Amino acid sequence: MNLSFSRDPLANTEALIRRVYAFVAYRLGDGPEAEDVTSEVFERALRYRGSYDRSKGDPVGWLLGIARRCTNDALAARATAAQPVAELPETGGGSGVEESSVRRLTLAAAIAQLAPQDQELIALRFGADLTAPQIAVVLELQTNAVEVRLHRTLARLRSILDSEGAESLGDEPGTTTTDWLETAL
């Protein structure tokens, strides 16, 4: 355990910013909006750093709780101006960059079809790179409940990807949904 966290939850700012930004970008998409929300998270954290209670978990969990609220606010504001997902380009044996882009777009479109709580679970696991016990703390659930929800969410995501012909995007037999998420986003 890092003792500096007991005094100041923002002591390791650089690493914390990366983790929070990864979660926010997973939920909102990479870019200026994710940067703005990440900034808002740290503004709130600075304002409320006195409320941090290390007995309730590490600073990452505390910050991701703030990030969840900020992200949900941004998603709610965005809901009135929802934009349709762009058509995915055809793959015609293009470069690795093109295939990677198509894979990212395919995953983003599939994740967008999941329920908001499933999207958040995917973002916590693969965006913020949290383990099931860490997610359980953030969501205030039991670890086994998180593991079951994650398993079911990944099964739904695989079903969406399969129904959209994701296999034609260069997916090798035996590649799991988890592999897609870890390598494409």
CATH topology of domain 96-184: Arc Repressor Mutant, subunit A (1.10.10)
Q: What confidence category does residue 176 fall into, taking pLDDT thresholds of 50, 70 and 90?
A: low
Coil, strand or helix at 159 = helix
CB 19 within 8 A of CB 115: no
Over range 2-12, report the average pLDDT. 64
Q: At what angle do helices 143-163 and 96-112 cross, to 10 degrees?
A: 120
Q: Write down the architecture of domain 4-79 according to CATH.
A: Orthogonal Bundle (1.10)
Domain residue ranges of the chain, discontinuous segments joined by +: 4-79, 96-184
Within the chain, where are the H helices?
4-7, 13-28, 32-47, 59-79, 96-112, 116-122, 132-139, 143-163, 177-184
pLDDT at 4: 42
Q: How far apart are CA 163 and CA 67, in angstroms?
A: 32
Please state which of the ranges 72-76, 108-112, 136-140, 173-177 shows the lowest mean pLDDT.
173-177
Q: How far apart are CA 54 and CA 68, in angstroms?
A: 19
Give the tens place of pLDDT for each residue, 63-94. Answer: 999 999 999 999 888 876 555 555 544 545 55
CB 38 within 8 A of CB 19: no
